[in-house]
Amino acid sequence: MKSKINIAIIGTGDISKKLADALCGCESVELAAVYSRTKEKAEAFASEFNISEIFTNLEELARSPFIDAVYIASPNSCHYQHSMLMMQNRKHVLCEKPIATCADEFLKMLKAAEDNNVVLLEATRFYHAPGLKKLKELLSKISPVRRASLLFNQYSSKYDALKNGETPNIFNKEFAGGALMDLGVYCVELMVALFGEPNEVISSHILLNTGVDGQGAVIAKYDGFLAELSYSKISHAATPCVIQGEKGSLLFIKASIIDKIDVIMRNGETEQLICYTDENDMIFELQAFAEIINEPQKAEQYNNYTMEAQKIMDEIKQQMI
């Protein structure tokens, strides 16, 4: 069992900074290097987080004998290529969501992980945070479930740039941008983690002038209940997620965060459960990643969630055409 896992970060955006902050509280993982296409960004990131080594060449990072694992936060369209390169060089991979642009890509990534005896894991925070387990436990309290409304509607900081004629990566079709890939993925993956595969999926979207979806809505049909997914990068809503059952309802802030759950029973009883208080919930996925590297069989459950979600997203994207 390796006492300390040396990890490199690919990408220097806000999500990479959040992961770097979380690494400060994860004793089993050491932040050893950062990659950026530009030396200036890599040096600035390394200086901010006291990182000893920088890379501006991915091949050199992949070959480095001092790096055990990588966290990939490059644009969505690069996840497959970057993950494959790292796994083919015996690096464990924690890759930001969506881990791939389609189910076929993810299947090839799983094969590469198996062939090279490394761990592949999508960086889906709520998979590993305490809130998902608590939510699953509470389903029986309100059962039978009749409706689930899973939401993530957040006005993008890049949307104004789009309206001014620019094409940020997150709204660029070439970079696999759009609301489904950026926010809807949380809704789909939470639905799968809670309820499994639906019987049928129907969706509708608002497409932007770049060809990607600015917002979308999905109805997934299960035996005895419906799941509604709502996601948007061009509007903002404070409406919570709600799971409705015949005995009561469960409310939480949004599909990506389950830090507290309000339980509202039909008989008038109410309760709020605090699942965790850590402001940076990326700590949970880092701890899980380190644990899974030492016990690789534990990756299967999460990769099954990811594969099923990829298939559903493939179907949703097909319905956009």
What integer is the mean pLDDT of 294-300?
Answer: 95
Residue 230 CA to its chain's centroid (Å): 16
| Residue 63: Cβ within 10 Å count | 13
Q: What is the pLDDT of residue 1?
A: 45
Q: What is the pLDDT of residue 179?
A: 98
Q: What is the pLDDT of residue 279?
A: 85
Return d(Cα 96, Cα 261) in angstroms, integer.
25
Q: What is the pLDDT of residue 262?
A: 98
Q: What is the pLDDT of residue 304?
A: 97
Q: What is the pLDDT of residue 140?
A: 97
What integer is the mean pLDDT of 145-172?
Answer: 97
For the chain, what's the residue count? 321
* Helix (H), strand (E), coil (C) string for the chain: CCCCEEEEEECCCHHHHHHHHHHCCCCCEEEEEEECCCHHHHHHHHHHHCCCEEECCHHHHHHCCCCCEEEECCCHHHHHHHHHHHHHCCCEEEEECCCCCCHHHHHHHHHHHHHCCCCEEEECHHHHCHHHHHHHHHHHHHCCEEEEEEEEECCCCCHHHHHCCCCCHHHCHHHCCCHHHHHHHHHHHHHHHHHCCCCEEEEEEEECCCCCEEEEEEEEEECCEEEEEEEECCCCCCCCEEEEECCEEEEECECCECCEEEEEECCCCEEEEECCCCCCCHHHHHHHHHHHHHCHHHHHHHHHHHHHHHHHHHHHHHHHC
Which residues, including other chains, have CB under 8 Å from residue 183's CB and lie 6 or more apart?
Answer: 152, 153, 154, 231, 232, 233, 255, 256
Tell me the domains of the chain and their CATH numbers: 5-124 (3.40.50.720), 130-275 (3.30.360.10)
Q: Which residues of 69-94 are buried (b: 16+ CB within 10 A; e: fewer)?
A: bbbbbbbbbbbbebbbbbbebebbbb
- For residue 122, is pLDDT > 90? yes
CA atoms within a 13 Å half-sphere pointing along the CA-CB vector of 40: 0
For 174-195, write each residue's pLDDT tens digit: 999 999 999 999 999 999 999 9
Amino acid at 224: G
- For residue 238, is pLDDT > 90? no
What integer is the mean pLDDT of 55-67?
Answer: 98
Q: What is the pLDDT of residue 321?
A: 76
Task: State the average pLDDT for the chain.
Answer: 96
CB 32 within 8 A of CB 51: yes
- For residue 61, is pLDDT > 50? yes
What integer is the mean pLDDT of 294-319?
Answer: 97
Q: Which residues of 295-304 are buried (b: 16+ CB within 10 A; e: fewer)?
A: ebeebeebbe
Sorting pLDDT into bands at 50, 70 and 90, what band is 2? low
